[in-house]
Amino acid sequence: MFKTEKKIQIIRITDKIEQAVRESGVKDGLVLVNPMHITAAVVVNDDESGLHNDYIHLLERLVPYNADYRHNDTGEDNAAAHIWRQFMGHQAVMAITNGKLDLGTWEQIFYFEFDGRRNKRVLVKIIGE
């Protein structure tokens, strides 16, 4: 569990997932990483701030955060966050090989938060031998 400090925030969680894999004792298998929030996504990509900014700018152009959405008629202000999550995909499944997270050269795992400033949690399920 962790707390997001900003409404829109990208947090690198690779180290925490690698630690969970080590502690599991699984040598070959899979790890599922799932944000337990409907306005967040888990993304696997490069750890490069320009790319992260590009994601947010593209999402804002496609689905402006402060546009007029029916969901916001309920008193919420986060309709765009729900839609952004769907564009980014909500979870990742990664391979475990020889007891380690099997990442490509530049791959890292990130928690993308689109409606933050509160406690968040990520579900990590590890299966294998």
User: Taking a C-beta distance cutoff of 8 angstroms, is the pair 103, 95 a contact?
Assistant: no
Residue 47, amino acid: D
Q: Which two tokens stand for residue 1?
A: 């569990």
Residue boundaries of the structural domains of the chain = 2-128
Eight-state DSSP code of residue 71:
G
Q: What local confidence, expressed as pLDDT, does residue 114 receive?
A: 97
CATH 2.60.120.460 fits 2-128, yes or no: yes
Nearest CA to 82 out of 39, 46, 31 is that of 39
Q: What local confidence, expressed as pLDDT, does residue 61 receive?
A: 98
Cα–Cα distance, 17 to 48 (Å, whole number): 19
**Hey, how many other C-beta atoms are within 10 angstroms of the C-beta on 53?**
11
Mean pLDDT by 10 residues, the chain (129 residues): 93 98 98 97 98 98 96 95 96 98 97 95 97
3-class secondary-structure state, position 75? coil
